[in-house]
Structure 1
């Protein structure tokens, strides 16, 4: 591009310029009434013409501002992800800059704007975060910088950075968070309940020195007699149990909560739960199903399994139709022959919708330990607890209470048929699911 044309396309008149035009018009208008204002108005007009020319000369001399964007390798869906902008001034004078980052158009963010002042040779960093709500691949554009100096009547647009691609995966940041807590045995600090183990569903690991606080029933008297001091048996949880996360991809999972679909909430919870299960020496597997097909990742705890688990979750999407539970049952019957813990993520709005699927749910529960996880409508809870101010509010509260009653009836109906259930809000889904898994494990049910 021609340098002159390029400079012209990069030149912007600031808001201050138009305010100055307005002030000049006002002064010249008032000078008809107050003649003594005419001379000051002419002086200001002369300066007003001179200053922008000087600013243009200084701003368009030299390289100006360099800008770079730094992203993490992949974004975590539903979490705050850091974005870093580095700005370096190559001007020989202090300047003010306005920074506009071109975020992916699918995110519909049009108000990103940062303003700061840079000294000559100065480098500053802008750190901000963004919470994506949908998985997929997205493209960042350039970084647009508007630089000005002095009175700031004109601005020079400088385009920095380069377009970048980023993929949004299921919430691996939550997975890493709970993994760290599991390794450091501080899960209870994040809301995970401490559950006492019931029964003797443990495997012998080794003999150790008895210390105060150990269960006296674990004392190994033969080893104590040989060593001349108290020795105790150390047990560990039963290992290599199969845990399958089963995700319904039907239309019922497309309902939104905090800009994320129930499907994405279930995907995030499944990823975290699978990682916790593997850290607890169980095998984690994944099954997703819709009206046409059932996809399966066999349970395993081998190296690299979580990467395959994450990749499979990344590709899932809803088909907006009702899922085929019969197809799911047949898949489980032929592919999952060992008794396993099945955690089914789905949603029921009415008792009748659950009863249509109940025969297949009962059939799955015959050979496996089945936990049905479905979602509480938090908006109805807010309506129930909100004070009614008029007749319209009363009707809305009645409808909300009916919806809540339906959910309670679904839990009761599942319990009557001997099926475990978990009714959870989307926000607490991960925490509640982990708690229930640990509870079932502590009770020796898996």
Structure 2
């Protein structure tokens, strides 16, 4: 019996409407001292309020389960994307109820204002949708759903608690990957900023000899076949396939820097995942290497249908480390793992020429055997400061320092080009598009 009463009090909440009614009752009692003609009116108002309170309690508590709620969530969340979730609610009361819903979302979002309000008719059902944008990979723990039901009288609320505790993993941005996949399949990559690259010449992979039609390149005419057939015949070529594309991700402290809630490592991971997906659609082989002071994951390049899931599972677990990358060990791994000439995309970050110079000897060695593409980040905050007009001595000092760092980034691009190393200097938010553009450009120019 004690349990029932404790639960009753625990789940009963008084509303502002009840307090307003009590306030009015108190005011009338006070006025009755100055206006005796009010008589029994104050007592009638008070006991009417008490009666309405008891009726409201009876309305909400006579039904054991007046409402039902359940959370609808995907099996996993996509990092840096808006993920759709929903709370399904159903009214089992024979009257209209006002509903307030609290969904206990993971602490990582640091939101304490998740409160949904709605009204339900008898036996009506609703799905309330909302979205969450995680900025870190890992496990996110959701708690219970708490529903506060209020009758048309509105003097109290009854709380219902639905145990919905669950843990959802946050993976690298697979929603972004799917978007690029669909556009690559339908040749609509230009819709999201991917440039259409004009092919120069043709690939070396011969496909067939076919009849000449208007528009064919006359340089591909096969004179021997023409002489045999008596009609103009041309050689047909197709894109070279099964080229190897390796993403190497630097996990050192240089990739810890945050931008719009995500670390540079997360931007590199998202871009690697999308690049691997597009490469597989283009019938190339995709591989992955992660490195810091020691080598992390190594996935040899392949075109199997399971390759992308394998890469996704590995990237999900990667974390930033706090030591510098061991470039000697990385070079040794590249030489051991990558057996043929490949496109090697190295995601890292350099803030100064000194940082580049420490790694340059190893980058030059890798570039001897592979087509090396170094991808690093533009510091957008420094760029904004360098473009801002200085108004005082301190502003001039800050602007000068910012311009110096921005200039160093451009020098790094020139230094890499001097040794035949391709590079991309990109703002974090444009990293994926710029990386895919460069991949398609290199593929079109047959540099791989």
TM-score normalised over the length of structure 2: 0.93
- Cα distance, 1:324 vs structure 2: 0.9
Change in CA separation of 1:289 and 1:160 when aligned onto 2, cut-off 3 Å:
same
On the 8 A contact 1:287/1:294 being kept in 2, the answer is: yes
- Cα distance, 1:264 vs structure 2: 0.6
On the 8 A contact 1:11/1:154 being kept in 2, the answer is: yes
Residue 173 of structure 1 corresponds to which residue in structure 2?
Answer: 175
Identify the match of residue 398 of structure 1 among 390, 397, 400. 400
Residue 419 of structure 2 corresponds to which residue in structure 1?
Answer: 417
Question: Mean alpha-carbon deviation: is it higher for 105-114 or for 372-381?
Answer: 105-114
- Cα distance, 1:48 vs structure 2: 2.6
Residue 444 of structure 2 corresponds to which residue in structure 1?
Answer: 442
- Cα distance, 1:223 vs structure 2: 6.0
On the 8 A contact 1:294/1:331 being kept in 2, the answer is: no
Question: Mean alpha-carbon deviation: is it higher for 416-425 or for 233-242?
Answer: 233-242
- Cα distance, 1:33 vs structure 2: 5.8
Question: Mean alpha-carbon deviation: is it higher for 229-238 or for 81-90?
Answer: 229-238
Per-residue displacement from partner, 1:131-175 (whole Å, max 9, x unpaired)?
A: 111111222111111110124221000112522221111111111
Q: Does 1:47 align with 2:40?
A: no
Residue 191 of structure 1 corresponds to which residue in structure 2?
Answer: 193
Residue 15 of structure 1 corresponds to which residue in structure 2?
Answer: 16
Change in CA separation of 1:219 and 1:81 when aligned onto 2, cut-off 3 Å:
farther
- Cα distance, 1:392 vs structure 2: 3.9
- Cα distance, 1:384 vs structure 2: 2.8
- Cα distance, 1:316 vs structure 2: 0.6
CA distance in 1, matches of 2:127, 2:380: 39
Residues 358-373 of structure 1: pairs in structure 2 closer than 5 A: 358-373=360-375
Residue 378 of structure 2 corresponds to which residue in structure 1?
Answer: 376
Pairs aligned (count)? 446
CA distance in 1, matches of 2:199, 2:165: 54
Identify the match of residue 352 of structure 1 among 351, 354, 367. 354
- Cα distance, 1:226 vs structure 2: 7.2
On the 8 A contact 1:203/1:237 being kept in 2, the answer is: yes
Residue 313 of structure 1 corresponds to which residue in structure 2?
Answer: 315
Change in CA separation of 1:34 and 1:430 when aligned onto 2, cut-off 3 Å:
farther
CA distance in 2, matches of 1:296, 1:169: 19
Per-residue displacement from partner, 1:243-296 (whole Å, max 9, x unpaired)?
A: 110000000101111111110110010000001111111111000001133431
Change in CA separation of 1:389 and 1:122 when aligned onto 2, cut-off 3 Å:
farther
Change in CA separation of 1:39 and 1:370 when aligned onto 2, cut-off 3 Å:
farther
Residue 153 of structure 1 corresponds to which residue in structure 2?
Answer: 155
On the 8 A contact 1:371/1:422 being kept in 2, the answer is: yes
Change in CA separation of 1:121 and 1:440 when aligned onto 2, cut-off 3 Å:
same
Question: Mean alpha-carbon deviation: is it higher for 345-354 or for 156-165?
Answer: 156-165
- Cα distance, 1:14 vs structure 2: 2.1
Residue 3 of structure 1 corresponds to which residue in structure 2?
Answer: 4
Unaligned runs of at least 5 residues, structure 1: none
Q: Does 1:270 align with 2:278?
A: no
RMSD of aligned Cα (Å): 2.3
Residue 255 of structure 2 corresponds to which residue in structure 1?
Answer: 253
Change in CA separation of 1:41 and 1:239 when aligned onto 2, cut-off 3 Å:
same
**SS of the residue 1:82 aligns to:** strand
Identify the match of residue 96 of structure 2 among 94, 97, 103. 94
**SS of the residue 2:8 aligns to:** helix
**SS of the residue 1:247 aligns to:** strand
**SS of the residue 2:148 aligns to:** strand
Q: Does 1:429 align with 2:431?
A: yes
